[in-house]
Homo-oligomer: A and B are copies of this chain.
């Protein structure tokens, strides 16, 4: 596999993530994701097309080629292994690992990453509960569901919060919920769609419908 620039890698990874939801990715979506301008995205799409990492016809949106997908998975593997290292070995807290891994992921030595994987004991998920692709780029596809759709007494891990406001973070902090928190729904109430949730062996507590809609989990 060839080596790609930091910028190319960031684009490839962003397309990979966006196409999980949309199938095909648009110029504006990607510009927004990468905090860049649509014109810059078009420039890069032309380049990645020439490198055969991308299917792209002008005005038609784009998606990764199978080669592009392979590249994306190695970058995601690096990112998540470093996140695991930072959290597990260096005792970073869950919200600090991403920013640093965003840089470490671009150090492209295959040997480094495979040895790191071994050193860490071949972890299967990162500190946010997202699966780590293996040496061959194989990744467990676990689908995220909103907490509202989680059946009672099914252990799950929080993997995504769709609202980024100070208000929801404040509430989540108060309820001791963060990305990576393992929890179970104990009971659902039809009257207001609120639910009782339990984290580990702590006492159960209530979550409103509005909050539950914004918390996404993976069944473990």
Contact = CB atoms under 8 A, between A and B. Distances in A.
B109 A107 contact: no
Interface stretch (A40-48, A58-66, A111-119, A195-203): A111-119
A107 B112 contact: no
Contact of A115 (B90, B104, B115): B90
B109 A100 contact: yes
A119 B86 contact: no
Contact of A112 (B86, B108, B111, B118): B86
Interface residues of A, number: 19
A190 B90 CA distance: 53
A119 B100 contact: no
Interface in A115-130: 115-116, 118-119
Interface string A131-147: 00000000000000000
Interface of A: 86, 89-92, 96, 99-100, 103-104, 107-109, 111-112, 115-116, 118-119
